[in-house]
Structures are given as structure tokens and as C-alpha cells.
């Protein structure tokens, strides 16, 4: 078993009243090294195990990677900044990996062998660049620009590969990914009962949020015809990504006003059956057997999500939504009813939201162009492959494959 549990906070904060030629508030992932530079946070759990004896063979592997991270650059609520340009910049780059496999992808044992392989990868948190509510912005120096920028780049890789041997087998390969992150650039509002307050910027005002996600979830059953278990390979990805740029305060801008949100996302979920396929249907198999198998893994995902929230002061915990579970999964059914058994199951349940907006009651005066843009490019795929099942083997199980891809993509500028 390998378990990696991380709470990471990288924060820069400026409060109070100040006058300066330029203000810079920045929280950024540090790049170190030369030619082989370390350019991102890396969080990894990798389990490889195997054992055998004359009677019992066990090669169970469990890898759990839990991370809750916050990168924030903030000018505090009620702060006042006078005279100069303002730059608030938050950048987080991270790689999260959970990988589980048995030695040589097999376990040996004459009577009972269990080689169940499970990888769980949970990545939570936010990247935030913000001027807080009730702040007073007076960038009155000639040509003074104000820039609020948040950038998040995350790679999430979850792999379970292997199988089990012997007369008793469990689900031989399970890969579960939970990804919930927000990338936010914001200038906050004034109090509803306060005097009208506008941000004064003699140059350009730019509020931009950018995110890039690459999420891969893979479960593969064993390809060894002598030792492979009968049972489904299950890959499940539960993803919620929000990228938002927002202006909630009146603004008087001498130059150009830009509010821009951009997201580039990829979520690929693949399951490949082992060479002996899934367990055949019998009297004990429920009619919604595939749904129940997915729900079991969804319950595991919810539990590990909760554990990730409890490890520190990350954004997910601070948001006060600890009681929430993971998003619901779609059902495996056709016009003829629910699917009872399968050799490979791949499920995507994804939400991606990209927004560039102002508050409804904001008043803006700009000397140059005013531009709101929301740009989104999201690729999703759920792929289940039962073709690896060898029908020539008399011990073979079910080669059915179930792939469900449910994606909600919102791209909005208003």
C-alpha cells in the first residue's frame, strides 16, 4: 500500500492602506534547477506488490494520492492602494499521480489468489488572484495599469493495472479520479449599503483566469492467460472544473478593460477487460450489477474526497462544503433495461464551467475598448474495451464493455 496525503498553501496577502509607485502581490509555483528544471508540484502514490506460496498467492496493490492545495494572491478586504500600478498574480502548476500494480501484473497460487489493484487519486483546491470586497483602488499615476491574473495547470494520472489468480477473485483493477478545482480572478464588490465606490485606473484594467487540465484514468485487467482473474476492470472519473474572471465593482478606466476566462481541458477514462473477462451472471447477480459496481467505487471516491478535505486549510475545506459528496454517476442501461455484468466499465461524469462576467449592477466607464471573452476547449472520452477477453479459454467470463461519458460544458461571457 502507498498513501500520499498533502495539504499545500501558497499565499501572498496585502492588507491596509498604502501609497507606492507600483504594487505587486504574487503567489507562484517555484521553478527550480537548470536544464532539468522542476517546474511544478508533484504528488505521487505508487504501489507495487506481490507474494506467493503453495496454497495462497496475494498481489494486492493499493495506491491513494490525496491533495488539497490553495495558491492565492490577494489584496485584502477594505484595503486601499494609492497612486501606482497594481499586479496581483497567482499561478499553480501541479502533477498528481496514483499508480497501483502487482509484480509482473500477476499473482501465483494453486488454491486462492487475490490480486486486486486499486488506485485512487483526489485533487482538490483553487488558484485565486483577487482584490477583496470593499477595497479602494486608486491607480492614479499616469499610465498605471491594474492586472489581476490567475493561472492553474494540472495533470492528473490514475492507473490500475493487474489482475488476480486462483479460484476466488475480486474486482481485479479499479482506477478512481476525483478532480475539483477553481481558477478565479476577481475584483470584489463594495458593501450593498456603502456609498458608490469605483476603481480608478488611468491605464488598462485586466482581469484574467486561465486553466489547463489533463486528466487520465486507466484500469486494465491482467493479460496473463494463466493467472488472470475473472472480474471487471473499472475506471471512474468525477471532475468539476471552474474557471472564472469577474468584476464586481464600478470602474473608471482610462485605457482598455479586459475580462477574460480561458479553459483547456482533457479528460480521458479507459477500461480494458482482463483476458478472462468479467464474472458471468448468476442467481446472485443484481439486475443493475454494473451500476452497483460503479456506485461502490463512487462511495470510495466520496470517502477519500472527505479525507482530502480534512487534511488542511485548502480551499475545498474553507468553502464549508465538507458534507457534500461527489457528483452522481450516470446509469448503465439500454432500452432493454440495466446492464448486469461487464468485463470493462469506464465512466466519466464531468462538469467544466468557464465564465467571464461583471456583476449585474456594475457601472463602467472606459477610455478604450471594453472586452469580455470566455474561451473553452474541452475534450472528454470514456472508452471500455472487452476485446482483450480470450474466448478460446474455457474459463473465460464476460467480454461485455460499458462506456459512459457524461459531460456538462458551460462557456459564458456576460
Query: Where does the pLDDT of residue 109 fall: very low under 50, low under 70, confident under 90, or very high at 90 and above?
Result: very low
Please identify which residue in the block is written with the cell numbers 483546491.
125
- Assigned domain for 368 exists: yes
* Cβ atoms 386, 339 nearer than 8 A: no
Query: Tell me, what's the pLDDT at 282?
Result: 47
Tell whether 233 is covered by a domain.
yes
Helix (H) / strand (E) containing 308? helix 289-309
Q: Which of 87-101, 215-229, 234-248 is the least confident region? A: 215-229
Compute the distance between CA of residue 254 and CA of residue 366 in angstroms, rounded to an integer: 6
Residue 115 confidence (pLDDT): 63
| pLDDT level of residue 173 (50, 70, 90 thresholds) | confident
DSSP 105: G
Q: What is the pLDDT of residue 53?
A: 47
How far apart CA 304 and CA 297 sit, in angstroms, is 11
**Is 173 domain-assigned?**
yes
Please check whether residue 335 lies inside any domain of the structure: no
Which grid cell is 334? 439500454
193 domain residue, yes or no? yes
User: What is the spatial distance between Cα 60 and Cα 49, in angstroms, rounded to a whole number?
Assistant: 6
Residue 294: CB atoms within 10 A of its CB come to 24
- Rounded mean pLDDT, 366-387: 95
CB count in 10 Å sphere of residue 191: 11
In contact, 183 and 150? CB cutoff 8 Å: yes
Residue 290 grid coordinates: 454494473
Q: Which helix (H) or strand (E) holds 290?
A: helix 289-309
Task: Name residues whose C-beta falls within 8 Å of residue 57's C-beta, 6 or more positions apart in sequence.
Answer: 51, 107, 108, 109, 112, 113, 114, 115, 165, 166
Average pLDDT, integer, range 333-360: 82
User: Does residue 322 belong to any structural domain of this protein?
Assistant: yes
Q: Which domain holds residue 92?
A: 2-30+39-330+341-413
Mean pLDDT of the chain: 83
Q: What is the CA radius of gyration of the chain?
A: 25
Contacts of 214 (CB under 8 A, 6+ apart): 154, 155, 156, 265, 266
* Polymer length in residues for the chain: 414
Encode 44-77: b = buried (16+ Cβ within 10 Å), e = exposed: bbbbbbbebeeebbbbbbbbbbbbbbbbbbbbbe
Q: How far is CA 173 from the centre of its chain?
A: 21
pLDDT band at 400 (very low <50, low <70, confident <90, very high): confident
| Mean pLDDT computed over 3-21 | 96
Place of cell 499553480: 92
Chain-centre distance for alpha carbon 303: 16
Q: List alpha helices for 310-370, DSSP H.
A: 315-318
pLDDT digits (tens, 9 = 90+) for 55-107: 444 557 889 999 999 999 999 999 999 999 999 999 999 999 999 987 764 44
In this structure, the number of other CB atoms found within 10 A of the CB of residue 27 comes to 23
Tally of domains within the chain: 1
pLDDT digits (tens, 9 = 90+) for 123-144: 999 999 999 999 999 999 999 9
Q: What is the DSSP letter of 398?
A: B
pLDDT exceeds 80 at position 322: no
Nearest to 126 by CA among 147, 149, 148, 150: 150
CA-to-CA dists, residue 63 to 98, 162, 173, 197, 221, angstroms: 6, 13, 12, 52, 16
Residue 232 within any structural domain of the chain: yes
- In angstroms, the CA 379 to CA 265 distance is 6
Q: Are 61 and 101 in contact (CB under 8 A)?
A: yes
User: Which one is predicted more confidently, 69 or 336?
Assistant: 69
Output 153 or 321, whichever has higher pLDDT.
153
Domain membership of residue 103 (yes or no) is yes
Q: How confident is the model at residue 283 (pLDDT cuts 50, 70, 90)?
A: low
pLDDT one-digit tens code per residue, 381-394: 999 988 755 444 54
Average pLDDT, stretch 160-185?
78
Amino acid at each position: 500500500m502507498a498513501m500520499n496525503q498533502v495539504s499545500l498553501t501558497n499565499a501572498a496577502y496585502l492588507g491596509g492602506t498604502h501609497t507606492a509607485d507600483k504594487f505587486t502581490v504574487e503567489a507562484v509555483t517555484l521553478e527550480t534547477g537548470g536544464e532539468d528544471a522542476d517546474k511544478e508540484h508533484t504528488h505521487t502514490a505508487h504501489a507495487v506488490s506481490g507474494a506467493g506460496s503453495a496454497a495462497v498467492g496475494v498481489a494486492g496493490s493499493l495506491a491513494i494520492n490525496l491533495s488539497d492545495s490553495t495558491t492565492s494572491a490577494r489584496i485584502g478586504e477594505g484595503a486601499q492602494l494609492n497612486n501606482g500600478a497594481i499586479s496581483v498574480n497567482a499561478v499553480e502548476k501541479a502533477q498528481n499521480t496514483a499508480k497501483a500494480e502487482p509484480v509482473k501484473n500477476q499473482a501465483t497460487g494453486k488454491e486462492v489468489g487475490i490480486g486486486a489493484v486499486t488506485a485512487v487519486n483526489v485533487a482538490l483546491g483553487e488558484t485565486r488572484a483577487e482584490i477583496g470586497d470593499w477595497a479602494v483602488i486608486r491607480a492614479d499615476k499616469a499610465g498605471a495599469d491594474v492586472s489581476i491574473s490567475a493561472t492553474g495547470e494540472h495533470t492528473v494520472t490514475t492507473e490500475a493495472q493487474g489482475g488476480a489468480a486462483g479460484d476466488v477473485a475480486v474486482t481485479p483493477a479499479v482506477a478512481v479520479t476525483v478532480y475539483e478545482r477553481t481558477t478565479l480572478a476577481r475584483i470584489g464588490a463594495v458593501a450593498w449599503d456603502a456609498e458608490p465606490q469605483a476603481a480608478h485606473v488611468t491605464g488598462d484594467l485586466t482581469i484574467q483566469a486561465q486553466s489547463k487540465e489533463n486528466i487520465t484514468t486507466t484500469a486494465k485487467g491482467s493479460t496473463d492467460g494463466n493467472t488472470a482473474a475473472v472480474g471487471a476492470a473499472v475506471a471512474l472519473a468525477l471532475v468539476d472544473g471552474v474557471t472564472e474572471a469577474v468584476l464586481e465593482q464600478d470602474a473608471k478606466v482610462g485605457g482598455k478593460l479586459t475580462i477574460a476566462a480561458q479553459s483547456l481541458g482533457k479528460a480521458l477514462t479507459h477500461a480494458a477487460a482482463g483476458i478472462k473477462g468479467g464474472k458471468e451472471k448468476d442467481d446472485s447477480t443484481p439486475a443493475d450489477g454494473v451500476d452497483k459496481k460503479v456506485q461502490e467505487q463512487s462511495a470510495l471516491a466520496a470517502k477519500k474526497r472527505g479525507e482530502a478535505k480534512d487534511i488542511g486549510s485548502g480551499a475545498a475545506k474553507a468553502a464549508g462544503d465538507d458534507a457534500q459528496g461527489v457528483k452522481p454517476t450516470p446509469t448503465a442501461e439500454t432500452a432493454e433495461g440495466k446492464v448486469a455484468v461487464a468485463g470493462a466499465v469506464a465512466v466519466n461524469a464531468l462538469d467544466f464551467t468557464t465564465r467571464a462576467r461583471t456583476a449585474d449592477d456594475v457601472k463602467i466607464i472606459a477610455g478604450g475598448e471594453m472586452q469580455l471573452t470566455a474561451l473553452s476547449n474541452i475534450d472528454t472520452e470514456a472508452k471500455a474495451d472487452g476485446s482483450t477477453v480470450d474466448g478460446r479459454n474455457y474459463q473465460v467470463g464476460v467480454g461485455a464493455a460499458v462506456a459512459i461519458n457524461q459531460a456538462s460544458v458551460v462557456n459564458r461571457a456576460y
